[in-house]
Amino acid sequence: MVASEESCTVWFNPGCSKCRGARELLEEQGVDAEYVHYLDEAPSRAELERVMGLLGTDDPRAMMRTGEPVYAELGLASADRDALLAAMVEHPILIERPIVVVGDRAVIARPPELALELLRSSASSSASASQRQE
């Protein structure tokens, strides 16, 4: 389902049922994904910016868990973009999960089935590109 030249990376929290559900779906499809435990090794600001671009957004809140207590504790409801990104680097629990990245696209897999849609669209895009090259 994933084009051979494209890797699949999942920002993963093993304590999250949606993350575990996404992993099960990917395993059922035979997808060999890399699971990044982002709570243990927080992504850099540059990586957050890159993934926001892959998600098709410039708004950090689109990939934030705004219901987390730390969001309110830090007063992030009125924070600007820079403060939101800094907060996600410092407090990775604020990052929505799971985020599945395939090639130059990403999706927040809530529900986990969105990961399969991303894989299907990536596979069909790769197939179309291969046919154009022939």
**Residues marked as catalytic:** 16
DSSP letter string, 63-100: GB-TTSHHHHHTTGGG--HHHHHHHHHH-GGGB-S-EE
Contact by Cβ (8 Å): 103, 122: yes
